Amino acid sequence: MVPFEKLAALLAKQPNKLVFSRPLHEDLPRNLVLQKIEKGKAPYQAVRQFEKKVFHTPVWDLVAYVREALPLWRELHVFGEEDYSALLSKGNVVSLKKLPKQSKAVAVAHNREKNRLIAEGDDLPIFVKLGIFTKEGKVVAAKQEKFRQINRYLELLMDVLKEYKPGDSLRVADYGCGKSYLSFAVYYYLTVKRGLKVDLVGVDLKEDVMEECNRLAQEYGYEGMRFVCANIRDYKPEAPIDLVISLHACDVATDYVLDGAIRQGVKHIFAAPCCQHELAKTLDGALMPMMMRHGIVRERLAALATDSLRVAVLETHDYSVDIVEFVDLADSPKNLLIRAVKHTQSVGFKQARQAEIDSLVALCGKKPTLLRLLEE
Ligand SMILES: C[S@@+](CC[C@H](N)C(=O)[O-])C[C@H]1O[C@@H](n2cnc3c(N)ncnc32)[C@H](O)[C@@H]1O
């Protein structure tokens, strides 16, 4: 057992971020993030993300807050000048380990941040309105992660859009766009910084949010943008789409995105999935009992199996696909991005992928959503 004072001494150094994970109760969020606020009234804020809602609460006394939260979680990560990982049990700190120095990948990511495609100071008033930039053009502390996420997504996107030259037209759909930070960023970057003619449609279930996004697009003169309230599953674009983007469309909504894009033969697909629960319910425990025993392992295995299946399905439909980590794991556990580009695959390759898909379906005992949708 580690005395609480050891942890308190780390907190006294004012770390940038703390992440509680592996909750002990079902009604808790998946994790609890305590984020340092540079110019806020309170020195920290707590961020609790439930399925569709995020709650922010000011934290005035970090040590007291952490002491109170300890009994509800199994793990705590502290990110500061040095990073630590703590195992918790019944409100006690069981172990406290210093994590190795930044990995090369993280160091590269930090360097990359200095060359962001959308940078502080860019003339982007919509980002002020959306609460990402302050009036002075600085990134709002609580939106740093979102800002990094958007920039990294943009970077990966630009890797594959090099073929487009100023004046070229591009039709984009952002599915599950929500408040549309990503849609506005992509539209701004492609039109203002790259000189393309972009027609972008954002689609989401939330009517009031889509109305507000349409109002903002009009107010800020983004003539090529419009937002539609619809279920991705039923939405039919008016004209062929060249690029589908989707950032954390919940659960099987990513399958709706892929189904539509495959059917329409969309050239580029960029989908970052989110909270896949489907296979967790159906994976057969008898085949991998040791990986099925613990809820968290089962969930992660199911999420990876779902994404692997999505990749294989795309490949059988003549796409070349990869999966990349688009943000650091410390920023978000939902950090995988499926990138697909239309590319004729050989018959033998597709047959081999199909055989893999069939064996996964046999393992699950039930066809996952994407396969069922494509058969409809
Ligand atoms: C986690 S939010 C992500 C929002 C945004 N892409 C972002 O990253 O900030 C997921 C969004 O997907 C939308 N969504 C989920 N299922 C959907 C469906 N079947 N059709 C349309 N939108 C859906 C939700 O309404 C929500 O706004």
Give me the CATH number covering residue 206: 3.40.50.150
Which one of 44, 66, 98 terminates a domain?
A: 98
Q: Kindly state whether residues 85 and 125 are assigned to the same domain.
A: no
Tokens standing for residue 130:
């959306």
Task: Output the CA 7–ligand 1 centroid distance in Å.
Answer: 38
Provide residues with CB under 6 Å of ligand 1. Answer: 176-179, 181-182, 203-206, 231-233, 247-250, 253, 256, 274
∠ CA 202-134-78, nearest 5°, is 90
Task: Output the CA 251–ligand 1 centroid distance in Å.
Answer: 10
CB 359 within 8 A of CB 352: no
Q: Kindly state whether residues 186 and 307 are assigned to the same domain.
A: yes
Q: Kindly state whether residues 61 and 137 are assigned to the same domain.
A: no
Mutate to test the pocket of ligand 1, among 54, 203, 204 (most ligand atoms within 8 A of CB): 204
Q: Kindly state whether residues 125 and 172 are assigned to the same domain.
A: yes
Q: What is the per-residue pLDDT across 120-178, written as a single tens digit (0 to 9) for each?
A: 877 788 999 999 999 888 899 889 888 988 999 999 999 889 889 888 999 999 999 99
Q: Kindly state whether residues 355 and 236 are assigned to the same domain.
A: yes
The answer to whether residue 355 sits within a structural domain is yes
The Cα 128–Cα 154 span in angstroms is 19
The answer to whether residue 311 sits within a structural domain is yes
Task: Output the CA 221–ligand 1 centroid distance in Å.
Answer: 24
Q: Kindly state whether residues 156 and 86 are assigned to the same domain.
A: no
What pLDDT does 255 receive?
96
Task: Output the CA 141–ligand 1 centroid distance in Å.
Answer: 24
The Cα 350–Cα 137 span in angstroms is 49
The answer to whether residue 106 sits within a structural domain is no
What pLDDT does 261 receive?
98
Write out the residue range of the structural domain in which residue 364 sits: 116-375
CB 306 within 8 A of CB 278: yes
Q: Kindly state whether residues 212 and 165 are assigned to the same domain.
A: yes
What pLDDT does 218 receive?
93
Which one of 39, 71, 98 terminates a domain?
A: 98
Nearest-CA residue for ligand 1 atom 9 is 178
Which one of 39, 70, 98 terminates a domain?
A: 98
What pLDDT does 293 receive?
81
Q: Which ligand 1 atom sits nearest the alpha carbon of residue 176?
A: 12
Q: Kindly state whether residues 85 and 138 are assigned to the same domain.
A: no
Residue 345, helix vs strand vs coil: coil
Mutate to test the pocket of ligand 1, among 143, 250, 255 (most ligand atoms within 8 A of CB): 250
Q: Kindly state whether residues 130 and 259 are assigned to the same domain.
A: yes
Nearest-CA residue for ligand 1 atom 11 is 176
Q: Kindly state whether residues 338 and 231 are assigned to the same domain.
A: yes
Q: Kindly state whether residues 193 and 327 are assigned to the same domain.
A: yes
The answer to whether residue 125 sits within a structural domain is yes
The answer to whether residue 111 sits within a structural domain is no
Q: What is the per-residue pLDDT across 52-77, written as a single tens digit (0 to 9) for each?
A: 566 778 899 999 999 999 999 999 99
Nearest-CA residue for ligand 1 atom 23 is 176
Mutate to test the pocket of ligand 1, among 175, 248, 335 (most ligand atoms within 8 A of CB): 248
CB 113 within 8 A of CB 53: no
The answer to whether residue 105 sits within a structural domain is no
The answer to whether residue 136 sits within a structural domain is yes
DSSP single-letter state for residue 155 = H
Indicate the number of domains in the chain.
Answer: 2
Ramachandran bin of 107, using left for φ above 0, alpha for ψ from -120 to 50, beta for the remaining angles: alpha
Nearest-CA residue for ligand 1 atom 1 is 248
What pLDDT does 326 receive?
81
Predicted confidence pLDDT, tens digits, the chain (376 residues): 899 999 999 999 999 889 898 899 888 887 888 888 766 678 888 878 765 566 778 899 999 999 999 999 999 999 888 889 999 998 999 999 998 875 555 555 555 555 788 888 777 889 999 999 998 888 998 898 889 889 999 999 998 898 898 889 999 999 999 999 999 999 999 998 888 999 999 999 999 999 999 999 999 889 999 999 999 999 999 999 999 999 999 889 999 999 999 999 999 999 999 877 788 777 766 667 788 888 888 888 888 889 999 999 999 999 999 999 887 776 677 889 999 999 999 999 999 999 999 998 888 878 899 999 999 8
Q: Kindly state whether residues 352 and 240 are assigned to the same domain.
A: yes
**Which residues are paired to 95 by β-bridges?**
87
What pLDDT does 39 receive?
65
Nearest-CA residue for ligand 1 atom 8 is 247
Nearest-CA residue for ligand 1 atom 14 is 176
The answer to whether residue 60 sits within a structural domain is yes
Mutate to test the pocket of ligand 1, among 205, 207, 251, 331 (most ligand atoms within 8 A of CB): 205
The Cα 263–Cα 233 span in angstroms is 12
Residues 6 or more apart from 189 whose CB is under 8 A from it? 117, 118, 154, 158
Which residue is listed with tokens 């009009």? Answer: 218
